[in-house]
Amino acid sequence: MRRHHDMGGLPAGPVERTEHEHAPWEKKVDAILRLLVAEKVMTLDELRRGIEELGPGAYDELSYFERWIRSIANILLEKGVITVHELATAIEAARARRAAAEACPKTVPAP
Amino acid sequence: MSPPRFRPGQPVRVKAWFPPGHCRTPFYTRGKRGRILDLVDVEPDPEERAYGRPGLPAVPVWRVVFDQHELWPDYRGPAQDRVVVGIFEPWLEPVEEAG
Amino acid sequence: MSHDPDHDHQGLDHEDHDHPPGQRHPFQPDLEDGPYTWHMALTDAIEQLLLAKGILRPEQIRRTLEDIDSKSPALGARLVARAWVDPAFKARLLADVNAAAAELGIDAGPIPIRAVECRPGEHHVVVCTLCSCYPRLLLGAAPDWYKARAYRSRVVREPRAVLAEFGLELGPEVAVVVHDSTAELRFMVLPERPAGTEGWDEERLAALVTRDCLIGVARPTVPSA
């Protein structure tokens, strides 16, 4: 069977020459992956397998680094490095930090 | 680790295997004939490493050259156009020299 | 609610709210002023958990982010320019890109990189049909199109049509060789030195070598005088 990521030779439209400067959160995903590989917590092969197992829908709908962080999360859960409970709590905490930062009022007028 | 089985220039065929699971052999090369270009390296088996196992003993990886006309019977470019793909040795089998 | 880009923190205390220990505002207003997506929260959550468990340390993450930002196609261009002026270096580059880069003080990372040389009658182009393998530890991030379906699907099957879309029309006298990066080996293209550059120094030559030249979807060209 052909897995969805294995797309060499399939019909496709013109190459849309899109580019974007990576956002800080995307670079952070990249950094986390590099360090987890360097520290031998997971391998690139596991990252790839995790991306493939997101399935065709997610593969096409998610952005590149969204696929990466989803795969990293699943592999870390699978290996018992983190738990679902910890992850749920940490996501909530991250959102709360962001909300607090966004609520930071403008205290001086722009020059 | 067993010694590498192939030599540069040797004709080979990629096995027409279609297992489920993770592998690094592109679908479009399966069952196709090519020639050995060179030995890339001996690497832990990604089919094992993808599932958290060490992938040892390590597996020789060969660069294999495929003529475009072998890969795609309807290819329209010149005969010398080709694709070079790294293939893990268990996926390769020797074939007789083309007559 | 968006973070106001005019918001100025200089010399001001944020008495009304707490920042996480040791952190300023954890995002850049100019780049991340959009909505805080679930995947961004997931990323921050995983980072915090890995730090809390002592699996990663903050300075490792900082150093890795700096390393990511330090890599660029300009490093590959330097290697190409040196190879154009120094045949002995070119031979070493073709034998081992990582070692040749180290000669110039460039860290190309632990994954081996192979240079594939364009010659008269032979053009090389690189892809990863299975994922997005790219010599990013030397050249920095791959462009989005390199990682997207159209390029990955088509360049192995109709490379000439894809190259033409990039403005590179090759005649039948030029063989097109596509390299599909499937193993722990990355590829960079060593393009042909364009005519009309005789006597140029390395810096001037390097400026001709774009990222797309290093992928093989373009050739270095001399701007017309």
Three-state SS sequence of A82-96: CCHHHHHHHHHHHHH
Can you give the pLDDT at residue C115?
A: 98
> Which chain C residue lies closest to A65 (C-alpha atoms)?
C39
Weakest-pLDDT range from B44-48, C17-21, C135-139: C17-21
**Do C47 and C156 fall within a single domain?**
no
Q: Is residue C2 part of a domain?
A: no
The CATH number that applies at residue C99 is 3.90.330.10
Can you give the pLDDT at residue C18?
A: 47
Q: Is residue C222 part of a domain?
A: no
**Do C149 and C76 fall within a single domain?**
yes
State both tokens at C188: 């960079």
Q: Is residue C223 part of a domain?
A: no
| Distances C140 to A30, C61, C127, C143 between C-alpha atoms, Å | 11, 17, 15, 9
pLDDT at C27 over 60: no
pLDDT at C24 over 60: no
CB of C169 less than 8 A from some CB of B: no
Distance CA C190, CA C81 (A): 10
**Do C48 and C118 fall within a single domain?**
no
Number of domain units in chain A: 1
Residues sharing a CB contact under 8 Å with residue C154, sequence separation 6 or more, in sequence order: A12, A15, C161, C162
Q: Is residue A68 part of a domain?
A: yes
Please say whether the beta carbons of A42 and A8 come within 8 A: no
User: Domain spans of chain B?
Assistant: 17-94
Q: Give the ipTM.
A: 0.96
Torsion of CA C202, A17, B74, A10, to 10 degrees: 120
**Do C100 and C51 fall within a single domain?**
no
**Do C189 and C155 fall within a single domain?**
yes
Rg of chain A (C-alpha set)? 18
Residues sharing a CB contact under 8 Å with residue A42, sequence separation 6 or more, in sequence order: A36, A72, A75, A76, A79
Distance CA C128, CA C185 (A): 11
Distance CA A110, CA C174 (A): 59
Number of domain units in chain C: 2
When comparing pLDDT for B98 and A94, which is higher?
Answer: A94
Task: Tell me the pLDDT tens digit for each residue of C131-154.
Answer: 999 999 999 999 999 999 999 999
pLDDT at C192 over 90: yes
**Do C176 and C158 fall within a single domain?**
yes
**Do C160 and C202 fall within a single domain?**
yes
Give contacts of B80 with chain C, Cβ < 8 Å. 175
Q: Is residue A2 part of a domain?
A: no
Q: Domain limits at C43? A: 38-69
Task: Tell me the pLDDT tens digit for each residue of B55-83.
Answer: 999 999 999 999 999 999 999 999 999 99
What is the CATH architecture assignment of B17-94?
Roll (2.30)
Q: Is residue C182 part of a domain?
A: yes
The CATH number that applies at residue A30 is 1.10.472.20
Distance CA C117, CA C124 (A): 7
**Do C116 and C53 fall within a single domain?**
no
Q: How confident is the model at residue C200 (pLDDT cuts 50, 70, 90)?
A: very high
d(CA A3, nearest CA chain B) in Å: 8
Q: Cβ C176–B77 below 8 Å, yes or no?
A: yes
Residue C131 annotated in active site:
yes
When comparing pLDDT for C183 and C30, which is higher?
Answer: C183
Per-residue pLDDT averaged across A51-63, rounded? 94
Q: Domain limits at A89? A: 25-101
Q: Is residue C112 part of a domain?
A: yes
Distance CA A110, CA B53 (A): 57
Q: Is residue C9 part of a domain?
A: no
Q: How confident is the model at residue A105 (pLDDT cuts 50, 70, 90)?
A: low
Which residue among the candidates C70, C72, C118, C133 is catalytic per the annotation? C133
Q: Is residue A20 part of a domain?
A: no
Residue C2 annotated in active site:
no
